[in-house]
Chains A and B, each alone.
Chain A
């Protein structure tokens, strides 16, 4: 039973399209994140939700809109996709006491 699961694992789409990535966790953690990993493997935090409330929004273009319907889910919707959006997007949750992050396996987005 996967602790942090993301769907889909792969998306290939055209510029200008809209796409969504879903994340679900069964760890009972309050805090969830979206990270973007570029082709050079650099990991950049995008958003964080704590108990359904947005607490971190790191200068991400407003084409990106996160949504947390409940504590166990955090989705990412991207409008008007651009070539530069091609990356691997990771969902993660945060352990309460030590701040350890638990990652999903990633969703690789390719924009053509």
Chain B
């Protein structure tokens, strides 16, 4: 079975500061890993994904994440926060075998202070 743990239900940063949202996963098979963002009253949209190959993946809006198999982690970072980054962020896992089930973490709400 797969699972995802996001450390910190709320993270607050100042505008211009580093954003770090933590995600650890559990999977008995090689995982596909995702970060999604949800703005208020909207659906989720993909920020970035890891499937195979390069372990550092870049996404939209300046975000990136690094897959670390030894640590079973997939933390999301952005060098400089912008007010528009304030949203809910979800880490998710599905299996590489074309598994149909995607499991989401509980989400981390990012606040950006002016």
- A residues contacting B by CB (< 8 A) are 4, 31, 33, 40-43, 45, 48, 50, 55-56, 90, 92, 94, 98-101, 103-106
Say which one of B11-19, B20-28, B66-74, B95-103 lies at the interface with A: B95-103
Q: Is the beta-carbon distance between A55 and B100 smaller than 8 angstroms?
A: yes
Contact yes or no, B43 A99, CB < 8 A: no
B90 contacts which chain A residues (CB < 8 A)? 43
In the complex the two chains form, is A90's CB within 8 Å of B44's CB? yes
The binding surface of chain A is classed by DSSP as strand
A106 to B90, CA, bound (A): 16
16 A-B pairs (CB sep. < 8 Å): A4-B43, A41-B88, A42-B104, A45-B102, A45-B103, A48-B100, A56-B100, A90-B43, A94-B102, A99-B32, A99-B99, A100-B46, A101-B34, A101-B44, A105-B42, A106-B41
Bound-state Cα–Cα, A48 to B103, Å: 13
Count contacts between A and B, CB distance < 8 Å: 61
The answer, among A31, A43, A48, A103, for a CB contact under 8 Å with B45, is A103
Chain B residues lying within 8 Å of A50, measured Cβ to Cβ, are 100
Closest to B98 in A: A99
| B interface residues, tally (CB under 8 Å) | 26
* Docked CA distance A42–B38 (Å): 12
A106 to B41, CA, bound (A): 8
Q: A41-B106, A98-B32, A104-B43 are in contact. List 19 more A-B contacts (CB 8 A).
A: A31-B100, A33-B102, A40-B106, A41-B38, A41-B88, A41-B107, A42-B104, A43-B107, A45-B102, A45-B103, A48-B101, A55-B100, A90-B43, A99-B94, A99-B99, A100-B49, A101-B34, A101-B46, A106-B41
Q: Write the nearest CB–CB distance from A42 to chain B, whole angstroms.
A: 6
| B44 surroundings in chain A (CB, below 8 A) | 43, 90, 92, 101, 103
Instruction: Say how far A22's CB is from chain B's closest CB, in angstroms.
Output: 15
Is B77 part of the binding interface, using a Cβ–Cβ cutoff of 8 Å? no
B46 CB, min distance to chain A CBs, angstroms:
5
For the complex formed, measure the closest distance between the CB of B57 and the CB atoms of chain A, giving whole angstroms.
11
